[in-house]
Structure 1
Amino acid sequence: MATPHYLLANPFAGQNIGHLRLAVVGDSGVGKTSFARQFVETLPEVLSHDWNTTIKQSGGDDDDDDDDDDDYTRTDALTEKFASTMMEIPWDNMDADDEVPARNLVFLDTPGYGSVIDARTNFNLFMDYVRQTFEEKNRRISPFTEVSNNELMRSLVTDVEYMRLISEKANVIPIIAKVDTQSDREVQELKVHVLKSLKEQGVSIYTFRIDYDRLIQMAEKGLPGGPPFAVSNVPPKPVSSDPQDHISFKHAANELPMLRKLVLEQQITNIRQFTVKKFINWRGKQQPQQQQQQQQQQQQQQQQHQQQPFYQQQQFQHQFPKHR
Structure 2
Amino acid sequence: MESSSHQDSVDSTPVSYESSQHSQLSPSYPRAQTTSLSLSSTPVNDQAHNGYSSPATSVSPQPEEPFKAPSPAVTRKKLSGYVGFANLPNQVHRKSVRKGFQFTAMVVGESGLGKSTLINTLFSTTIKPQRLYSQPGSELPSTVSVESTSADIEENGVRLRLTVVDTPGFGDYVNNDESWKPIVDNIEARFDAYLEQENRVNRQKMVDNRVHACLYFLQPTGHSLKPIDIEFMRRLHQKVNLIPIIAKSDTMTDEEILVFKQRVLRDINYHQIQIFSAPIYDNEDEETLGENEAIASKIPFAVVGSTSLVQSAITGQEIRGRSYPWGVVEVDNEDHCDFVKLRQMLIRTHMEDLRERTNLVLYERYRTEKLLGMGVAQDPTVFKEINPAAKMAEERTLHEAKLSKMEAEMKMVFQQKVQEKEAKLKQSEEELYARHKEMKDALEKQRLELEEKKRRVESGRPLTPDRPSVGQQQSQKKRFGLGK
User: Aligned to 1:234, which of 290, 298, 306?
Assistant: 306
> What is the aligned counterpart of 1:280 among 360, 364, 370?
364
Matching of residue 80 in structure 1 with residue 148 in structure 2: yes
Question: Do the aligned partners of 2:153 and 2:159 also contact (CA within 8 Å) in 1?
Answer: yes
Separation of aligned partners in 1, 2:133 and 2:252: 15
CA offset digits 1:197-245 (Å, max 9, x no partner): 10011001102237xxxxxxxxxxxx9512211110234522258xx97
Distance 1:205 1:134 in 2: 20
CA contact under 8 A between 1:31 and 1:65: conserved in structure 2? Answer: no
Is 2:326 the counterpart of 1:247?
Answer: yes
User: Is the CA contact (8 Å cut-off) linking 2:107 and 2:166 kept in structure 1?
Assistant: yes
Count of residues in correspondence between the two structures: 235
Deviation readout 1:259-280 (Å, 9 max, x if unpaired): 1221222112221221111111
Q: Tell me by how many angstroms 1:83 deviates.
A: 3.0
CA distance in 1, matches of 2:328, 2:312: 15
1:166/1:124 Cα in 2 relative to 1: closer, same or farther (>3 Å)? same
In structure 2, what is the equivalent of residue 32 of structure 1?
Answer: 115
* 1: CA distance, partners of 2:165 / 2:171: 18
8 A contact 2:106–2:213 mirrored in 1: yes
Q: Which residue is 1:18 aligned to?
A: 101
Equivalent residues of 1:21, 1:150 under 8 A apart: yes
**Residue 124 of structure 1: CA displacement?**
0.9
- Which entry has the higher C-alpha Rg, 1 or 2? 2
Bigger shift: residues 170-179 or 231-240: 231-240
Contact 2:101 2:159 in 1 (8 A): no
Identity %: 21
8 Å contact kept, 1:153–1:175: yes
Per-residue CA deviations over 1:167-203 (Å, capped at 9, x if unaligned) read 1110001111101222221111111111111001100
- Judged with a 3 Å threshold, the aligned counterparts in structure 2 of structure 1 residues 257 and 66 are, in CA distance, closer, same or farther, namely farther
Instruction: State TM-score, norm by structure 2.
Output: 0.42
Report deviation, 1:152. 0.9
Deviation of residue 139 (structure 1)? 0.6
Q: CA deviation at 1:29?
A: 2.7
Residue number in structure 1 paired with 2:172: 115
Q: C-alpha separation between the residues in 2 aligned to 1:39 and 1:167?
A: 23
* Structure 1 moving runs of 4+ over 6 Å: 248-252
Tell me if structure 2 keeps the 8 A contact 1:32–1:65.
Answer: no
Q: Please report how far the alpha carbon of residue 81 of structure 1 lies from its aligned counterpart in structure 2 after TM superposition.
A: 2.0
Q: Secondary structure at the match of 2:163?
A: strand
Describe how 1:140-151 pairs up with structure 2 within 5 A.
140-143=197-200, 149-151=212-214
Go from structure 1 to structure 2 and tell me whether the alpha carbon gap of 1:285 and 1:233 turns closer, same or farther (over 3 Å shift).
same
1:198 — aligned with what? 268
How has the CA–CA distance of structure 1 residues 50 and 36 changed in structure 2, closer, same or farther, with 3 Å as cutoff?
closer
Distance 1:231 1:248, change over 3 A: closer
Q: CA RMSD in A?
A: 3.9
For the pair 1:160 / 2:241, whether they are aligned, the reply is no
Determine the C-alpha separation between the residues in 2 that align with 1:110 and 1:267. Answer: 24
Paired residue type of 1:285:
E
TM-score by length of 1: 0.61
Partner of 1:129: 186
* Residues 66 and 153 of structure 1, relative CA distance in 2, 3 Å threshold: farther
- Shift in CA distance, 198/50, structure 1 to aligned 2, threshold 3 Å: closer
Residue ranges of structure 1 left out of the alignment (5+ in a row) = 7-11, 43-48, 55-63, 68-72, 88-98, 211-222, 293-324
Residue 38 of structure 1 and its aligned partner are, at CA, apart by: 2.3
- CA distance in 2 between counterparts of 1:265 and 1:162 reads 27
Unaligned runs of 5+ in 2: 1-10, 16-93, 135-139, 202-211, 219-224, 281-292, 315-322, 377-484
